[in-house]
């Protein structure tokens, strides 16, 4: 396992990469029928990659760089929560419920897919 400073630098580097990727993905996708698809997509991709790497037990260095750093800043529960709350605040009850359901079901599906991918490796 990397020492404290090395681990922190790996997390920081991964976080920088993940934040930039999130900006690109979230910023290029339009809302689809009122659902914030950019946030949904980064959460699904992040869940799938995180599960794949976790289930194949990658070395600790990549856990700090990729799992904690890159995927930690790429996926975004706080943005999901804010965007979902705004839908409720705007009276969009169906979109509110749809956004919650899509994020939960698709991200959990991503974890299952990641586990399946890991079992093939």
Is residue 37 a known part of a binding site? no
Q: Which of 89, 88, 69 is nearest to 19 (CA)?
A: 69
Q: How far apart are the C-alpha atoms of 47 and 29, rounded to whole Å?
A: 18
Instruction: Burial-class residue 27 by CB neighbours within 10 Å (0-12, 13-18, 19+).
Output: exposed
Beta bridge partners of 32: 35
Which phi and psi (to 5°) does residue 91 adopt?
A: 80, 15
Is residue 72 a known part of a binding site? yes
**Measured in Å, how far apart are the chain's first and last C-alpha atoms?**
23
Binding site per annotation, positions for Na(+): 72, 75
Binding site per annotation, positions: 72, 75
């Amino acid at each position: 396992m990397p020492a404290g400073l090395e681990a922190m630098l790996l997390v920081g580097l991964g976080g920088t990469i993940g934040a930039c990727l999130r900006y690109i993905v979230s910023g290029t996708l339009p809302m689809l029928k009122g659902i914030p698809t950019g946030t949904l997509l980064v959460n699904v991709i992040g869940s799938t990659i995180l599960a794949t790497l976790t289930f194949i037990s990658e070395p600790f260095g990549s856990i700090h760089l990729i799992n904690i750093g890159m995927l930690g800043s790429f996926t975004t529960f706080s943005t999901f929560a804010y965007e979902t709350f705004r839908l409720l605040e705007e009276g969009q009850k169906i979109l509110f419920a749809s956004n919650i359901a899509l994020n939960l079901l698709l991200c959990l599906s991503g974890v299952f897919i990641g586990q399946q991918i890991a079992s093939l490796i």
